[in-house]
Chain A
């Protein structure tokens, strides 16, 4: 770089190098470092708190743990309440995802490949539904859930979660089915395959990786859902993790060590999913757009 500056025009080579590379050599690393610190320090704080004995959290507080203990993790992992919350979350999130995907795959096929009256309208309604804020619906839904006895039941939550998971996964699936070339299906149909066969033997295999990502997103959203879980569930045995965690801050005693240990464990499924599907996330977002 510096040799390049030793041309006929006598200039300060350092200045010239700076001018050419300032963006890449200074602004970029500094900027990325700032954003990394800003993004990551809360995680380090979660980790630090979860490893400190209570005495070091409340009495002789220090930022960096002086004594490391796994007592909070031991408590969380062996706590029957936490195990119940974790299991409930898994049941609700997995069931929601399976039902939503099943509905989405058939609907998306019909909306992209079948010709029938009202197709445009149904597609439009799906998007509008996806965009309608839950806060507008939660008061009437709370009432409906009470009338239908959906409260304090895991399957009640599953039904409510279809509100956002079905429009979202249908919309994402539509965008993937649109990329399947029509010729493939036409050939199969000419050969006498039925529509259902075409869906299962052509569309599903071709868009399987994409569908897996849609399913992972749907799972994550259901796993993280808080508002309706809070509204509809009051029995401990039916609570999911997001609501269960807030139990640790009930009243005046803040069990921060346990809370942070529990938070770390509860974040694992979505975070692992996210790291696994990371490289599809940007294109997935471009295709459909997910909650933010």
Chain B
């Protein structure tokens, strides 16, 4: 999808004024405009190095240490990892977190893709009021996540005052209240529901952009060949959408798995760790309860390999405009 193309400079450039301070050989190696190039990118590089690369490396180092906030760091080698994977205190929580994170991410992404595809297909049709309806359907994407989470917590409230329970009692004559967010067997599904509610518009937008990039003459040709609606969908729409689907799913998997807002505002990982995804666990161990920064860093590091593949593919796709074809 990335229209950006870094090697896009094909038109020959005017020869820059001779630079007396630099020899031709140096210039050939560093590039003709290296001084200005680095002057312009220096702030960017500073941000990347100090705010991302440095914390990234220090997070990995931290994961080999026993460190509390304000306390002295002590090197403990692989102890944090061993404790998380096999220890008495954390292993059961950790493996539960692996399961919860996978269910949470995979189910959310799959349903968002399905709903997003349906919405995009409908929004791609011509009908009256399309722009208005499109704007309304995309509203959840523009609403602050924390507000979405708080609102849904109020919709799913276990008391008679929550919208769903109120509706059931007022209109359906229900006599018991459903504890949507307090029942460990159900809670994860309701949190996923909220994630889907907010995340679907992003899929709709990305897939709509993808649909609009499929040339319409392909459909016309297929119609002339006698292909029916389903065949056209299978043979043209789906292949044409694959690049958009790949990018959307990868981006969304990274963001969904790593978002803490919904869980924090709705359940704090509870009840009984039923919604404990790994960023929430890192928060609980590192900041809220245990204040063990080293152990918390190890949680994050253990999950990072899952994202490397996604980041690798996305980087390649976003850098090459060929990737979208």
Contacts and interface: CB of A to CB of B under 8 A. Distances in A.
A291 B256 CA distance: 10
Given A227-B261, A242-B146, A115 B37 contact: yes
Given A114-B40, A115-B37, A282-B208, A127 B314 contact: yes
Interface string B113-141: 00100110010010100010111111111
Contact of B56 (A49, A104, A137): A137
Interface in B52-73: 52, 54-56, 58-59, 62, 67, 69-70
A7 interface: no
Contacts of B118: 31, 35
A138 to B, nearest CB: 7
Interface in A207-262: 220, 223-224, 226-227, 230-231, 241-242, 245-246, 249, 254, 256, 259-260
Contact of A32 (B29, B45, B62, B133): B133
B30 A103 contact: no
Scoring B29, B199, B265 by chain A CB atoms within 10 A of each residue's CB, the highest score goes to B265
B234 to A, nearest CB: 16
A290 B255 CA distance: 10
Contacts of B264: 226-227, 230
Contacts of A285: 1, 202, 205-206, 209
B96 interface: no
Given A46-B151, A140-B297, A289 B206 contact: yes
Main secondary structure of the interface of A (DSSP, over half): helix
A178 B7 CA distance: 10
A167 B54 CA distance: 16
B311 A131 contact: yes
Contacts of B33: 114-116, 195
Nearest to B153: A249
Contact of B279 (A135, A159, A170, A249): A135
Contacts of A241: 144
Given A190-B14, A271-B142, A140 B161 contact: no
Interface in A31-88: 31-32, 35-36, 38-40, 42-43, 45-46, 49, 57-58, 61-63
Main secondary structure of the interface of B (DSSP, over half): helix
B286 A139 contact: yes
A9 B251 CA distance: 53
B255 A292 contact: yes
Interface in A148-200: 159-160, 162-163, 166-167, 170-171, 174-175, 178-179, 182-183, 186, 189-190, 195
B205 A282 contact: yes
B270 interface: no
Interface of A: 23-24, 28, 31-32, 35-36, 38-40, 42-43, 45-46, 49, 57-58, 61-63, 102-104, 106-107, 109-117, 119-120, 122-129, 131-144, 146, 159-160, 162-163, 166-167, 170-171, 174-175, 178-179, 182-183, 186, 189-190, 195, 220, 223-224, 226-227, 230-231, 241-242, 245-246, 249, 254, 256, 259-260, 263, 266-267, 270-271, 273-275, 278-279, 281-283, 285-292
Given A45-B155, A226-B144, 6 more contacts: A58-B161, A143-B293, A163-B52, A271-B142, A286-B1, A289-B206
The 8 A-B pairs at the shortest CB distance, nearest first, are namely: A292-B202, A116-B37, A274-B142, A116-B31, A135-B279, A110-B40, A133-B258, A140-B59
